[in-house]
A and B are shown apart, each in its own frame.
Chain A
Amino acid sequence: MFNILKMAAKNLTRYRRRTFLTTMLITLGVVAVLLFVSVSGSFKTMMIGQITDSMLGHLQVHRKGYLASIDSLPLNKNLNQKQVKKLEEILRSEEAVESYTFRIKLGAMFSNYAETTNIRLNAVMPDKELQTMPLLGDRIIEGEKEGLLKKGEILLPELIAKGMKVKVGDTIVLVANNKDGSVNGQSFLVRGVLEGISGPGGRDGIMHLEDARSLLRIEEMEVSEVAIRLKSIDQMEDVFNGLKAQLSSMTNKEGKPVFELHTWEKLSPFFNIAKMIDLMTLFIKVMLVAIVLVSIMNVMIMAVYERINEIGTIAAIGTRPGKILALFVTEGFLLGLLGTISGTIISLIGITAMNLSKLTFNFGRQTGLELAPTIDASDIVVTVLIVIFIAVLGSLQPALKAARMDPIAALRHV
């Protein structure tokens, strides 16, 4: 085995430039794949993290029909106290649920005493919200981050704070219609400003749940949205199916289900971008496979053709066909190995360099997002294995041709 490796390595030194160019081509392919996987993967992970950990959670429960009219933030489609209790029971018994948070979503008139505009708000219990949205604190770009907010305080979305020229510490007024249509107003202290993020709810303000209940004159417990955080995002599919089964069995008097359950993927358009990224990754991998296959086959076909006489010689002096096959396959294998090793090294250097240079990028209205590309060992291993497998596959046909050659015909070949 070692002898075959040594012999194959020597054969690669015949045309150093050709070996170098083929290795470079494979290296280039590997670098393209690994850098793309790394950059797009980190971008995806970061965006998904932001969406699930500061806005949507992993799963959300609403009253059936709420989402269809979420644009108008209806108050008459909230879950009532009984339904909330029932839901809490189910969520508490679910092992994989880390925490959950109740929200009343509302629209209101916002006034800074000089101008008026519309505002969309999530009314939350600060502790529960922070527990369920661990990255929410990071989105507070002005004002105190600790503890989110207290009663009587409000976190304004960046756009409204800017547009209405409101600063932390100012007092503003919210006026809202309650369910029956009567109007109520209340003043609030601006506690901080929230950075907007892409997707639905990404530009909502935040207020205290108790304040919303008094503003809207809600007596009993009422909830428009329940956001759920799981211990791990990997369990999402399973938990979703489990919860769905339990929730759909709960029906109202007409026999229709009370709840609707969604994963973040159904709620955020970013999921489609994430899927596009996955698709592009696949395309680039297919390209890599094609590059490796074509370049290795090309080189090995040439190698066999050039060495017909030599193949005849080694076959005549007693080298078994299997060994000749192994010799050429090993040569292709080594080319693939060389390419992946240098490709992996260059990629790791590239990833380190990107991290050191703290590259930033913009996405939608979000600016200055820091790209911190990383790559899983498993991605590297899979790429390396694919390339080596394809390299072996690509050299198989020429190697078989070499092994099957008739020694006399090969010796006579000029």
Chain B
Amino acid sequence: MSLIKAMQLEKTYVTGDIEVKAIRGVDFTIEPASFVSFIGPSGSGKSTLLNMIGCLDPPTGGKLIVADQDITNLARNQAADFRGNTIGFVFQDFNLIPVLTVYENIEYPLLMVQKWSVGDRKKRVMSLLEAVGMADQADKYPSQISGGQKQRVAVARALVTNAKLVLADEPTANLDRETANRIISMMKTMRDEFQTTFIFSTHDPKVVKSAEVIFTIEDGKLQKNGSEVGGTHV
């Protein structure tokens, strides 16, 4: 059973009289535990597509099924709950909460989105701190760590809820090449460890090489349908 199934998916933005067809009827499927990248130039529709998969933006046409749920039309609270339970997000600008420590940032979804007991929470946060190699920085605030470290914390926050799917919209755009590669390979390690599907977008052909499934998107259309490269994708 596929994790994601998109059928004739469309997104048209209407601003006044102007219509922008950001996604023009795309079909694709993504399997569980895969490591997927959408690549395309700026304005090609990567963010729009990821936002639809992430249940942040409803499609204007077609159908979208994620983790066995039709998310084409969800109410606000339903959408929030769906995101909180099924999806983890990693952002281009890291988006950590500045008044919370590294530890508290990772703990946040377990407190404010899901309800975990104190003991479980602690165990879970500690194990993710270990997994992303930030255990020794747990009490630091976001302003006290580097960009790469912030993104590690963000990946830990995305994974902490046992999300089935992590969406990362240009997660390396604000990082130098070396750090970018390390973050991508760390995400891959996380995929191996937690069997979580990772989807990231990028406009950088060098970054995309690490992906196992690559979708090239241009002008709101997919160029190749999920070409598999090298890798160990099952």
Which A residues are within 8 Å of any B CB, using their own CB? 3-4, 7, 10-11, 13-14, 309-310, 312-323, 407-408, 411
Contact = CB atoms under 8 A, between A and B. Distances in A.
Most buried by B among A310, A321, A407: A407
- Residue of B51, B76, B85 with most partner-chain A CB within 10 A: B76
B97 A318 contact: no
B40 interface: no
A3 B112 contact: yes
Interface string B51-89: 100101100000000000000000011001111110111
Interface residues of B, number: 31
Contacts of B157: 317
B95 A310 contact: yes
* Residue from A3, A314, A320 whose CB has the most chain B CB atoms within 10 Å: A320
A319 B56 contact: no
Contacts of B109: 317-318
B86 to A, nearest CB: 9
Given A309-B95, A408-B51, A317 B88 contact: yes
A14 B98 contact: yes
Given A310-B95, A310-B97, A317 B76 contact: no
Across the A-B interface, the 9 shortest Cβ-Cβ residue pairs:
A318-B84, A318-B113, A313-B95, A318-B83, A10-B99, A3-B111, A320-B80, A408-B56, A316-B89
Contacts of B95: 309-310, 312-313, 411
Nearest to B169: A411
Residue from B57, B89, B158 with most neighbouring chain A CB atoms (10 Å): B89
B100 interface: yes
Nearest to B86: A318
Contacts of A318: 80-85, 87, 109, 113-114, 161
Nearest to B110: A3
B91 A411 contact: yes
Contact of A313 (B51, B91, B114): B91
A308 to B, nearest CB: 12
Nearest to A312: B95
A321 B83 contact: no
B84 A319 contact: yes
A7, A10, A312, A313 — most chain B CB neighbours (10 Å): A313
A408 B108 CA distance: 20
A315 B80 contact: yes
A317 B89 contact: yes
A320 B89 contact: no
Nearest to A404: B76
Contact of A7 (B57, B77, B88, B112): B112
B112 A319 contact: yes
B81 A320 contact: yes
Given A10-B100, A319-B80, A319-B84, A314 B56 contact: no
Contacts of B111: 3, 7
A240 to B, nearest CB: 59
B112 A314 contact: yes
A408 B112 CA distance: 20
Contacts of A319: 80, 84, 112-113
A316 B113 contact: no
B77 A321 contact: yes
A11 B99 contact: yes
Of the candidates B80, B82, B91, B99, the one having the most CB atoms from chain A within 10 angstroms of its own CB is B80
Contacts of B88: 317
